[in-house]
């Protein structure tokens, strides 16, 4: 009887651990999907294709203070820390330099504790600078998202070349 009780307790413990692991994997997937959606939202914002007529972001909108999440990495590194290490959800002045990822009027993402946030930076491509009209403009988009619980955080980053920049 004791042996059967021990086996039963062991099975219940294993099942409980497997459920926790599945829940964590699911939460990470939700956060990853939300971060992907924020990246796509930022791309739409960059090329202006979310409204008619198209109005791409003006290159002069980017500055060292990252107003509205638009940063100029030519001028300074944001907050003295790498942007992918900065917590966009922390209660600090740096959170005002990221944008809630629904600026294009896209619907809010369901199932997350907070909406994803992103930051767009102009980056030096080595093909020219901003003053050179023939230079290629590249943008680094960093998106952060949380899952269904606040402790799950996913950071995604991409370099985006708008279609009109590619020869």
Q: What angle do CA 131, 41, 122 make, to 5 degrees?
A: 20
**Please, which pLDDT band fits residue 133 given cuts at 50, 70 and 90?**
very low
Contacts made by residues 24-32, CB under 8 angstroms, sequence distance 24+? 24/152, 27/147, 27/148, 27/149, 27/152, 28/147, 28/152, 28/154, 29/147, 30/111, 30/112, 30/147, 30/148, 30/152, 31/112, 31/145, 31/146, 31/147, 31/152, 31/153, 31/154, 32/145, 32/154, 32/156
Q: Give the model's pLDDT for residue 131.
A: 52
Nearest to 142 by CA among 27, 31, 29, 35: 35
Q: Give the model's pLDDT for residue 15.
A: 78
Q: Tell me how far apart the alpha carbons of residues 159 and 91 are, in angstroms, rounded to a whole number.
A: 27
Q: Check whether 27 has a pLDDT greater than 90.
A: yes
| Boundaries of every domain in the chain | 2-165
Q: What is the DSSP string of 13-65?
A: HHHHHHHHHHHHHHHHHHHHHHHHHHHHHHHHHHHTTTSSS--PPPGGG-BTT
**Please, which pLDDT band fits residue 167 given cuts at 50, 70 and 90?**
very low
Q: Tell me how far apart the alpha carbons of residues 5 and 13 are, in angstroms, rounded to a whole number.
A: 12
Q: Give the model's pLDDT for residue 42.
A: 87
How crowded is the C-beta side of 106, counted as CA atoms within 13 Å? 21
**Residue 104 in tokens:** 């294009």
What does pTM read for this prediction?
Answer: 0.74
More confident residue, 140 or 92: 140
Q: Tell me how far apart the alpha carbons of residues 138 and 98 are, in angstroms, rounded to a whole number.
A: 18
**Is residue 160 within 8 Å of residue 139, measured between CB atoms?**
yes
């Amino acid at each position: 009887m004791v042996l059967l009780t021990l086996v039963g307790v062991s099975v219940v413990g294993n099942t409980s651990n497997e459920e926790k692991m599945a829940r964590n994997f699911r939460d990470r997937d939700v956060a990853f999907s939300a971060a992907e959606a924020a990246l796509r939202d930022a791309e739409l914002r960059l090329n202006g294709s979310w409204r008619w007529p198209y109005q791409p972001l003006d290159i002069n909108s980017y500055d060292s203070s990252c107003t509205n999440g638009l940063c100029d990495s030519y001028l300074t590194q944001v907050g003295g820390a790498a942007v992918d290490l900065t917590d966009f959800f922390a209660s600090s002045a740096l959170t005002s330099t990221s944008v809630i990822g629904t600026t294009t009027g896209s619907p809010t993402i369901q199932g997350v504790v907070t909406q994803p946030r992103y930051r767009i930076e102009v980056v030096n491509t080595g093909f020219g600078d901003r003053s050179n009209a023939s230079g290629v403009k590249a943008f680094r988009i960093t998106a952060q998202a949380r899952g269904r619980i606040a402790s799950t955080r996913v950071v995604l980053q991409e370099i985006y070349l708008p279609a009109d920049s590619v020869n």
